[in-house]
Amino acid sequence: MNEAGSSISVAAADDERWMMQAIELSHQSLYITAPNPRVACLIVKEGQLLASGVTQQAGGPHAEVMALRQAQERGLDVKGATFYVTLEPCSHHGRTPPCADALVKAAPARVVVAMADPNPLVAGQGIARLRAAGIQVATSVCTEQALAVNPGFVARMTRGTPWLWLKSAASLDGQTALRNGVSQWITGPQARADGHHWRARSCVVLSGLGTVRADNPQLSVRDVATTRQPIKAIIDTRLEIDEKARLLDGSKTWIFTCNDNPEKSARLAQLNAQVVVMPGRNGGVDLPAVMRWLGQHEVNEVHVEGGARLNGALLQSGCVDELLVYLAPIVLGQGLGMYQLQAMETLDQALRFEFFETLAMGADVRLRARLGSRWQELLKAVGGP
């Protein structure tokens, strides 16, 4: 390799190293930014990190502004620096002014962007504004890693529905409970605490009436620290939920039903529960219609903790993007399975997911699998390979 090629390789490696640091930093905003994306910004000059920032709660400053404020507080000159941003700087007036304008004013030499913003209000305009100001812009650096922090935002912007994962805790033989319904506890404390992390990062925790009746769950985040609780949502076809259910604790709740019952809906409204009447499908609530409704209400990520019936219905209606499975090293025999699906006649009918992560959780294992085609669609939308 000649000297010029070697210099390019070193520069690319430096960009990737700094961008991965920015992506790691963006995890600090996992629980707070919805419906906005989780974004981080690093300001680097002559190989030294000057300042950094992450996007705050909706309506608060974005990552670029937070980093610039930190640099100003430290009395540092950012002119001629390189800014590493995990998402294209916004170019429109939303809840806050355009970040692209703030960067132009700061006069960096370069801006390195992990992924393009799929928001139609931005969609390349932020990058174009930087280049028009004479700032060098490098794009598509660590794109897939950046997307992993924001699949729900990208999904909502590109297809109008949130990114949905099904969470299950099961034995090695795929049972989530004994035949009598006893399920506490199949998995250990580390797996259960990790499950609360996934609740906390979601916009909505979705369950079904069967689970509400069987377990009387709270559906709240308890095992991780968060300033924001996700909205609770229940699929209740005939609006039969017990008005004394523990989840109806005054926190925001959506109940999706096919039964228009104004009197009960009014009582539930006193508990901060909104009844949403949806069309029916296959004897239940039209689940794809629910996903569209959630997208229209700025929901990025949906965490499902339901029973086999709801899980199976979501799978068969094409609403599931990802499986989040905690497997315990125990065998339970005949019990309650993870997914209630119609019998298949051939393997070609199988719903095929792709494993992409395996992680030990104490004595248990966390498996994650997703629909590869859907992931590739998101990746393409943000400028990935």
Q: Is 99 annotated as a binding residue?
A: yes
Please check if 313 is assigned to a binding site: yes
Tokens of 275: 């009844």
Q: Is 216 annotated as a binding residue?
A: no
**Ramachandran region, residue 182 (left: φ > 0; alpha: ψ -120 to 50; beta: rest):** beta
Task: Kindly name the residue from 3, 16, 64, 263 that is annotated as catalytic.
Answer: 64
Which of 189, 114, 163 minimizes the C-alpha distance to 291? 163
Tell whether residue 192 is among the known ligand binding residues: no
**Strand 364-370 with 354-361, pairing:** antiparallel
- Report residue 152: phi and psi, to 5°: -70, -40
Asked if 170 and 327 count as a contact pair (C-beta separation under 8 A), the reply is yes
As to burial, measured by CB atoms within 10 angstroms (0-12 exposed, 13-18 middle, 19+ buried), residue 205 is buried
Is 142 annotated as contributing to ligand binding? no
The tokens describing 69, both together, are 């404020």
**185 labelled as ligand-binding?**
yes
Query: Is 199 annotated as contributing to ligand binding?
Result: yes
C-alpha–C-alpha distance, residues 146 and 37, integer Å: 11
Dist CA 32 CA 230 (whole Å): 10
Q: Is 180 annotated as a binding residue?
A: no
On whether 240 is known to bind a ligand per the annotation, the reply is: no
Q: Flag whether 308 is marked binding.
A: yes
Q: Check whether 219 is labelled as a binding-site residue.
A: yes
Catalytic-residue membership of 3 = no
Active site residues: 64
For the annotated binding site, the residues are 62, 90, 99, 169, 183, 185, 199, 211, 215, 219, 222, 237, 305, 307-313
For the annotated binding site for substrate, the residues are 183, 219, 222, 305
For the annotated binding site for NADP(+), the residues are 169, 185, 199, 211, 215, 237, 307-313
For the annotated binding site for Zn(2+), the residues are 62, 90, 99
